[in-house]
Amino acid sequence: MRRLFLSVIAIAFGFSMFSMSGSAQAQDAATEQAIKYRKSVMTAVRGNFGAMVGIMKGAGNKADLTTHADALVDLSKIASTVFPEGSDFGETTALPVIWEKPEEFAKSMKAFQDAAANLATVAQGGDMAAFGKAFGATGATCKGCHEDFREKKEKRGKK
């Protein structure tokens, strides 16, 4: 009887250990997914940003600058949701300082959102010189955030 009791405990304990590691695994999978999503969003940001460079250099249609700029505005809003707490380990170049200094990070994110919103407004006007200026200002916000909150290029290799 005592033996049975012990083995029931062992099974219960074993089970709880198992479910604990199961939930840790679920946690890891969720983090991995959050990081993948973040990279996809940033890649979309770069896609629209790069497309505007192409149009400024004469490719495509000038009228589509507004579409890319509007997409950047939407993506800049999504960007503020892709840094959940705890997504600072694994296959990421995001630095822990994002979560250590959330107010500074939020400021950097807001600068990007404001610059993108301004870019979209300027795009409507169709003045290419003004657009070029607003575009440069937007690019500076990417660079600013990457400098402070992303692993340096030398450290992460070519990426």
Which residues here bind ligand HEC, judged by CB under 6 A?
A: 35, 38-39, 42-43, 45-46, 49, 92-94, 108-109, 112, 138, 141-142, 145-146, 149-150
* Residues recorded for the chain: 159
The smaller minimum CB distance to ligand HEC, of residues 3 and 158, is found at 158
Find the shortest distance in angstroms from Cβ 150 to ligand HEC: 4
Find the shortest distance in angstroms from Cβ 47 to ligand HEC: 9
The smaller minimum CB distance to ligand HEC, of residues 60 and 144, is found at 144
Q: Give the C-alpha distances (Å, rounded to integers) separating 43 from 58, 72, 124.
A: 23, 11, 24
Structural contact between residues 132 and 56, judged by C-beta atoms closer than 8 angstroms: yes
* Cα 12 from chain centre: 41
